Amino acid sequence: MFDSILSAAAQYGCKTEKNAPMSQYTTFRVGGPVELLVEPNSVDALVALLKAAKNDGVKPLVIGKGSNLLVPDEGLKGVVFHMGDAFSDITYAGNDMIKAQAGATVINLCRFALEYSLSGLEFAYGIPGSVGGAVYMNAGAYGGEIGDSVVVVNHIDYDGNRGSWSPRQAGFSYRHSNYMDSDLIVTSVVVQLDKANPEAIQMKMENFMERRRTKQPLEYGSAGSTFKRPEGYYAGALIEQSGLKGKQIGGAQVSEKHAGFVINKDNATAKDVLDLMAFIRETVQREHGVTLEPEVRILGDAPWNS
């Protein structure tokens, strides 16, 4: 079934794993196996693998750090391309710009900016995902968004053709970009930052990280904020006001530290997480008349995907 993909992976020396447990590739730490997981080790390899996938009649799921994914317990059919360490280069591009590959971590991008005394990404220090994932969903925190700094995004389509988008073409908005509605795979991004005092940058970064440590349940598996911020409200506040802080279904719990987070408290299953999310949504709708929309990307069958 995956003959062309396996052949291309062997040709380029890419790591492959059959029945790979997706719980090891997502920050929620839940989810069943995928039939085949491949780690492209270069853009050329990714192009070849995409063409091979088309030849095999398979559309792969491309992931980075899996920090915003919920994989079902039964796992996934098909192929996952994992953009791992081979896509983690970060380089100075001149004129206060930085180029980062999609598999680089947001944290490392922030640290690199600090090394060059460049400001504009301090808000993102501590976001657990990859640069590609951050661009894909326009990740943000504390009033900042990754899309605010983007100059150009480079991508590949599922036919293996390379291209790029400007910020306008990427259409960044709250927790959304046009990449979410396309068949384009982010491979790298260039961000424009501003020269600033490195001590001031570091102080801001440490301040944001400390706020995360004290207010967020970083010690547990999660996908960050579970629901998007409804217009005029805060999801965490609505959930807490509904008396759901600490609410638990199976091994999934509404964090006692921050109600905006559903966490893997005790060997949760994906079903535990989905059942708790549904319970939260129904309760908040009943108590406040506000419909919460998931920020986490739910794969497989779920009420929000129908």
For the chain, the domains span: 3-85, 88-214, 217-305
Q: How far apart are CA 14 and CA 8, in angstroms?
A: 8
* pLDDT recorded at residue 245: 97
Structure tokens given for 65: 């750090």
Predicted structure pTM score: 0.91
Element (H, E) at 199: helix 198-215
CB 48, CB 160: distance < 8 Å: yes
* pLDDT recorded at residue 300: 79
Question: Following CA atoms 85, 187, 144, 128 in sequence, which dihedral angle do they give, to the nearest 10 degrees?
Answer: -20
- Residue 278's nearest CA partner among 302, 261, 257, 301 is 302
| Amino acid (1-letter code) at residue 285 | Q
Structure tokens given for 212: 């995360």
Q: How far apart are CA 241 and CA 290, in angstroms?
A: 12
Residue 171 gets the label, from left (phi > 0), alpha (psi -120 to 50) or beta, of left
Given the candidates 3.30.460.10, 3.30.43.10, 3.30.70.270, 3.40.50.2300, the CATH classification of the domain at 3-85 is 3.30.43.10
The burial of 65, by beta-carbon neighbours within 10 Å (0-12 exposed, 13-18 middle, 19 or more buried), is given as: buried
* Domain 88-214 falls under CATH 3.40.640.10: no
Element (H, E) at 76: strand 76-82
* pLDDT recorded at residue 303: 55
The burial of 161, by beta-carbon neighbours within 10 Å (0-12 exposed, 13-18 middle, 19 or more buried), is given as: exposed
Structure tokens given for 12: 């380029």
* pLDDT recorded at residue 239: 98
Per DSSP, the three-state class of 214 is: helix
Question: Following CA atoms 202, 208, 214, 217 in sequence, which dihedral angle do they give, to the nearest 10 degrees?
Answer: -120
Identify the active-site residue in 130, 225, 242, 255: 225
* pLDDT recorded at residue 301: 64
Among this protein's residues, is 39 annotated catalytic? Answer: no
Determine the distance from the C-alpha atom of residue 4 to the mean position of all C-alpha atoms in its chain, rounded to a whole number: 28
- Residue 140's nearest CA partner among 247, 77, 228, 251 is 228
Per DSSP, the three-state class of 262 is: strand
Identify the active-site residue in 35, 164, 175, 240: 175
Identify the active-site residue in 39, 122, 145, 295: 295
Per-residue pLDDT of the chain (306 residues; tens, 9 = 90+): 899 999 999 999 999 999 999 999 999 999 999 999 999 999 999 999 999 999 999 999 999 999 999 999 999 999 999 998 899 999 999 999 999 999 999 999 999 999 999 999 999 999 989 999 999 999 999 999 999 999 999 999 999 999 999 999 999 999 999 999 999 999 999 999 999 999 999 999 999 999 999 999 999 999 999 999 999 999 999 999 999 999 999 999 999 999 999 999 999 999 999 999 999 999 999 999 999 999 999 997 655 554
Give φ, ψ of 63 to 5 degrees: -130, 160
Strands 297-298 and 69-70: parallel
Among this protein's residues, is 225 annotated catalytic? Answer: yes
Among this protein's residues, is 295 annotated catalytic? Answer: yes
* Domain 217-305 falls under CATH 3.40.50.1100: no
